Amino acid sequence: MRIQERMETLTPSERQIVSVLLQDYPVAGLGSITELARSAGVSTPTVIRTARKLGFDGFPDMQGAIREEIAAQIKEPISRRDAGRANARDDHTLNQFADAVSSNIRNTLQRLNPDAFDAVVKILADPSRHVYVAGGRITRSNADYFFNHLQIIRPNVTLMSQTPNVWPQYLLDMGRKSVLVLFDIRRYETDLAKLAKLAKDRDCTIVLFTDQWGSPISRLADHCFHALVEAPSSWDSTIAIMLIVEALIADVQAARWDESKGRIEELESMFGKTRLFRNLG
């Protein structure tokens, strides 16, 4: 989408409009110009100017483009919807989840800015930058997975404790060269928001993985990945988040292949010497 392609040309106020659009796309772009301006905290002329800078004739033209994009998605071949579905009736839970997850992944990738992705890869591949990772009650497993892979690829990676009371001990060592990677989806966690604020006060770079609505931490994050998480369940799905995480890990490893290859070989050697996984049966 051209919104993401032209992000670098926008002023802070115009980027705020784009942020509102992306966080609630396409709904935010289909309301009135007054509603969009109010949600972004800007004036209606700013909305018009932003639409023109994005290459549209004006706000109505931008809305027309959004409607056309939605129509194109609705007209996708039935075969694409059926790909990856289970051999079960249409109303079976497996197929409901397959449809929801496929839609989440597709729409997440459409929103993702490749330049922002590449910028985060560059940051994470720099071993001089200490990376701290934390997740919430639901996203702790995402943080664990991210940490387990990244700390094999490069040094200076820390998985923060689940206990907020000890976080000041990590903050003590954070600074301009530090990176704080946070996972926070609804219901957003106030402890993580406090952590982000304290880290930002210490000039720490913040990378956030959140949902389509956007954690309050979005306002502090230097880089933010919005993934769709709704599923036919009482629990949100983090599969789209994991797609981005695994792609990041792959690119960081590629960027540091010579170093990471040596670390992996050394790690395997240690496992072999200590026989941590030997068969005791």
Percentages (nearest 5) of helix, strand, coil residues in the chain: 60, 10, 30
Residue 2: predicted pLDDT: 62
Give me the pLDDT at residue 16, please: 86
In this structure, are residues 17 and 3 in contact, taking their beta carbons and an 8 Å threshold?
no
Residue 123 in 3-state DSSP?
Answer: helix
For the ranges 86-95, 162-171, 195-204, which has the lowest average pLDDT? Answer: 86-95
Q: Please write the tens of the pLDDT for every residue from 58-109.
A: 888 888 888 777 666 555 544 444 555 566 666 777 888 888 888 899 989 9
Residue 5 pLDDT class (50, 70, 90 cuts): low
Share of the chain above pLDDT 70, in %: 87
User: Which domains can be identified in the chain, with CATH numbers?
Assistant: 2-75 (1.10.10.10), 114-268 (3.40.50.10490)
Contact 235, 99 (CB under 8 A): no
E strands, 10-96, in order: none
Which residue matches tokens 């402890």? 191
Report the range of poorest mean pLDDT among 58-67, 68-77, 119-128, 167-176.
68-77
- C-beta separation of 33 from 58 below 8 A: no
Tokens of 58: 């004006």
Please report, for the chain, how many H helices and E strands are present, in that order: 14, 5
231 vs 238, higher pLDDT: 238
Q: Residue 217 corresponds to which tokens in the numbers above?
A: 């931490």
Q: For the whole prediction, is pTM greater than 0.95?
A: no
Pairing of strands 223-227, 157-159: unpaired
The predicted pLDDT at position 280 comes to 46
